[in-house]
């Protein structure tokens, strides 16, 4: 065993022992006490904030760009029932976006956002694109969660990064697609933000934070209940959906008013032309888009 492997093994054993001991201390709370990771680099550039009616609702990740716009991913519960939202990108601009739901995997707590006219925005680099699987958490013992946590309602939420360990608690997905468990201190407002490896490559989408306000028994995908002991442990960690689960859905999406073309792996461009909205409805008008950002925080 190499020194690096021994270090990762000891880190996982330490974290698992802390969870098993039931000390009454949230691992996420302990991580929160540590200094914040500087907001710089790829994760900061590709993480956006989602606002609804001018109010912060969650976060999103820029996945791809080209031919007149960009795709973002967020948590479905962040934009539930909203056809148009406002997205504040890392350059400080507020941009109207259209919500697009994939019909290929309706169980996932994932929604996509289409930002027209934003094809120069930076896009996240998936870990799988670098030759490492985004679906194997054992390869990423140290992770960084990004997003815009909501704190004092009188203050504008600011970008944050939280470091943590990726724990081997879930051999299979839970309802909603959650399968990655991390000690990173994900807070309310960071849902839909990214989970990155230590090289800032995307491995997942933040979905649930530790110590939920309304804890409820979790279930495996398919409806089978978890053991009470596993439920207790999962309440102490944040949960994320693996990127390998939702990234393939991009190939089947159509931007509102456009039609797809073959994927270009080099520049990750998936769209061109004109067609109807993939959700079956009409694309939002420019007036509706402007209204979506009219009340955004200044």
| pLDDT tens-digit map of 195-205 | 999 899 999 99
Chain position carrying tokens 């209204």? 291
Check if 8-42+126-245 and 47-123+247-294 are the same fold.
Answer: yes
For the domain made up of 47-123+247-294, the CATH class stated in words is mainly beta
Confidence of residue 293 (pLDDT cuts 50, 70, 90): confident
Name the residue among 178, 141, 180 with its Cα closest to residue 163. 141
* Cα–Cα dist 280/197, whole Å: 36
- The answer for residues whose C-beta is within 8 angstroms of residue 23's C-beta and 6 or more apart is none
Q: What is the pLDDT of residue 162?
A: 95
Distance CA 32, CA 270 (A): 39
Cα separation of the two ends of the chain? 53
Give φ, ψ of 203 to 5 degrees. Answer: -125, -10
Question: Which of 29-33, 135-139, 152-156 is predicted with the least confidence, judged by mean pLDDT?
Answer: 29-33
pLDDT of the residue at 141? 79
**Whether 204 contacts 43, CB under 8 Å:** no
Does the domain at 8-42+126-245 match CATH 2.40.10.10? Answer given as yes
The predicted-structure confidence for 153-178, as pLDDT tens digits, reads as follows 556 679 999 999 999 899 899 999 99
Coil, helix or strand at residue 89: coil
- The pLDDT assigned to 140 comes to 52
52-70: pLDDT as tens digits = 988 999 999 999 886 689 9
Strands (E), the chain: 47-52, 55-65, 69-74, 84-88, 94-100, 111-116, 142-147, 160-167, 180-182, 194-197, 202-208, 238-242, 259-264, 269-272
Is pLDDT above 80 for 49?
A: yes
Q: What confidence score (pLDDT) does residue 6 get?
A: 44
pLDDT at 274: 24
* Mean pLDDT of all residues in 16-24: 37
Domain limits of the chain? 8-42+126-245, 47-123+247-294
Task: Identify the pLDDT of residue 245.
Answer: 93
Residue 215's pLDDT band, with cuts at 50, 70 and 90, is low
Does the pLDDT of residue 247 top 50, yes or no? yes
Mean pLDDT of the chain: 74
Q: Decide if pLDDT at 24 tops 70.
A: no
From CA 68, how far away is CA 31, in angstroms rounded? 40
Instruction: Specify the higher pLDDT residue, 280 or 292.
Output: 292
Confidence of residue 295 (pLDDT cuts 50, 70, 90): low
Please compute the mean of the pLDDT values over residues 84-101 and round it to a whole number. 93
Question: H helices within the chain, ranges in order?
Answer: 3-21, 27-32, 42-46, 228-234, 243-246, 286-294
Per-residue pLDDT reduced to its tens digit, 254-285? 888 765 443 333 333 333 222 223 333 333 44
* pLDDT at residue 94 in the model: 94
Which of the two residues, 293 and 16, has the higher pLDDT score? Answer: 293
pLDDT for 125 beyond 60: yes
Q: Which percentage of the chain shows pLDDT scores above 70?
A: 65
């Amino acid at each position: 065993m190499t020194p690096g492997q021994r270090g990762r093994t000891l880190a996982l054993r330490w974290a698992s022992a802390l969870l098993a001991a039931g000390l009454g201390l949230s691992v996420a709370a302990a991580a929160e006490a540590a200094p914040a990771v500087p907001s710089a680099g790829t994760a900061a550039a590709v993480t956006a904030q989602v606002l609804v009616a001018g109010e912060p609702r969650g976060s999103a990740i820029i996945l791809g760009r080209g031919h007149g716009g960009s795709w973002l991913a967020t948590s479905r519960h962040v934009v539930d029932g909203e056809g148009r939202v406002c997205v504040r990108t890392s350059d400080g601009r507020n941009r109207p976006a259209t919500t697009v739901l994939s019909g290929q995997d309706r169980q996932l707590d994932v929604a996509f956002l289409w930002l027209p006219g934003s094809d120069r925005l930076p896009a996240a680099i998936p870990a799988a694109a670098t030759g490492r699987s985004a679906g194997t958490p054992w390869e990423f013992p140290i992770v960084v969660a990004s997003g815009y946590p909501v704190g004092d309602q009188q203050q504008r939420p600011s970008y944050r990064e939280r470091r943590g360990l990726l724990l081997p608690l879930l051999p299979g997905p839970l309802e909603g697609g959650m399968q990655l468990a991390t000690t990173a201190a994900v807070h309310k407002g960071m849902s839909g933000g990214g989970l990155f490896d230590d090289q800032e490559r995307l491995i997942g989408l933040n979905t649930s934070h530790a110590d939920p306000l309304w804890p409820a028994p979790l279930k495996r995908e398919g409806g089978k209940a978890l053991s009470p002991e596993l439920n207790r442990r999962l309440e102490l960690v944040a949960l994320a959906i693996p990127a390998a689960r939702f990234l393939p859905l991009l190939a089947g999406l159509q931007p509102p008013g456009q039609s797809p073309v073959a994927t270009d792996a080099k520049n990750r461009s998936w769209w061109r032309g004109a067609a109807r909205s993939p959700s079956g409805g009409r694309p939002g008008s420019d007036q509706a888009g402007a209204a979506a950002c009219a009340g955004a925080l200044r």
